[in-house]
Copies of this chain bind each other. A is one copy, B any other.
Amino acid sequence: SSATDTIRATLFPGDGIGPEIAESVKQVFRTAEVPIEWEEHYVGDQVDPRTQSFLTWESLESVRRNRVGLKGPMATPIGKGHRSLNLTLRKELNLYANVRPCYSLPGYKTRYDDVNLITIRENTEGEYSGLEHQVVRGVVESLKIITRQASLRVAEYAFHYAKTHGRERVSAIHKANIMQKTDGLFLKCCREVAEKYPEITYEEVVIDNCCMMLVKNPALFDVLVMPNLYGDIISDLCAGLIGGLGLTPSCNIGEGGIALAEAVHGSAPDIAGKVMKNMANPTALLLSSVSMLRHLNLHDKADRIQEAILSTIAEGKYRTADLGGTSTTTDFTKAICDHL
């Protein structure tokens, strides 16, 4: 493919095991001849005053320019005077929806073999407003903010996603029986959008009941859309159903068509680097890179890579330690490349 076909994408390898699993993605993309050129950015070692965090201004500019990126785990350094890396990315890039496809992996046994759902989380407001204060000694309050704009935006994304991905149902998850105004507004916005998509079934499920139904029978759900905190909780619950965060891809969608795919697991400093290196499971980042390719409409490449990852896991010969195997990151990656 000619140079003009090449797409530039930002890569944040992240910390801990991040660089090892990012290397795995780079190798798989090379093997599959994905026409992507990475612009790599590492987390800085001092606070950048323009971002008020350890993220460099250049790295944010890179995502803004490329409109597409991939991000490994980032542990926020401890200390005062700076913002969480993950929250800074969401805020600065206005990443309003976190999308997580969650399906049972063929051949990797958990208690569930019938999971096939998508969680779509509002990613900018709700309980994450950061507005908290002490009212009097011993009494503190925090504000949950729900806006019409952000609720419509994420609802629109969810219904559009359902329609374009052959999904049949959108469930809005809420606690409007208690938070009638905030979650009530969220539901009102979902209903408005639902009317524009008569071909998609719309339902509303209270979060406590939703969690009970998910653990009893996850096949009841298709696409779930919800405010920030419920999305945080339910997307991790769903990841647990299929084996954990090491296996689940995630993609953040921002205003203006930005997509930042992301492995949402931790940076596992204990198995990164010197003594225990080359042990990490790159699956979540690899599947996130597949989400990124789909966002770019590179579906052929996405299908091939996804198929190679799933087959390698299904065969079971090469699995990393977290899945009960003994393969190194590089062996597992090589097995995927051999499948391509």
Contact = CB atoms under 8 A, between A and B. Distances in A.
A208 interface: yes
Contact of A139 (B133, B147, B233): B147
Contact of A132 (B180, B211, B234): B180
Interface in A263-296: none
A111 interface: yes
A140 B181 contact: yes
A140 to B, nearest CB: 5
Interface residues of A, number: 52
A305 interface: no
A145 interface: yes
Name the residue among A135, A182, A185 with the largest chain B CB count within 10 angstroms: A182
B240 A141 contact: no
Contacts of A181: 132-134, 140, 142
Contacts of A134: 181
Interface string A135-151: 10111111111111100
Contacts of A239: 212
A43 interface: no
Nearest to A180: B132
A200 interface: no
Interface in A175-198: 175, 178-182, 184-185
A211 B229 contact: no
Interface string A47-86: 0000000000000000000000000000000000000000
A305 to B, nearest CB: 26
Contact of A232 (B184, B208, B213): B208
Contacts of A213: 240
Contacts of A221: none
Contact of A212 (B112, B138, B149, B240): B240
A236 B209 contact: yes
A212 B185 contact: no
Contacts of A146: 139-142
B211 A233 contact: yes
Contacts of A19: none
B178 A207 contact: no
Nearest to A183: B142
A179 B142 contact: yes
Interface in A83-134: 110-112, 127-128, 132-134
Interface string A222-265: 00000001001111110111011100000000000000000000
A160 to B, nearest CB: 21
Nearest to A139: B147
A188 to B, nearest CB: 10
6 contacts: A139-B148, A140-B145, A140-B146, A208-B235, A212-B244, A215-B240
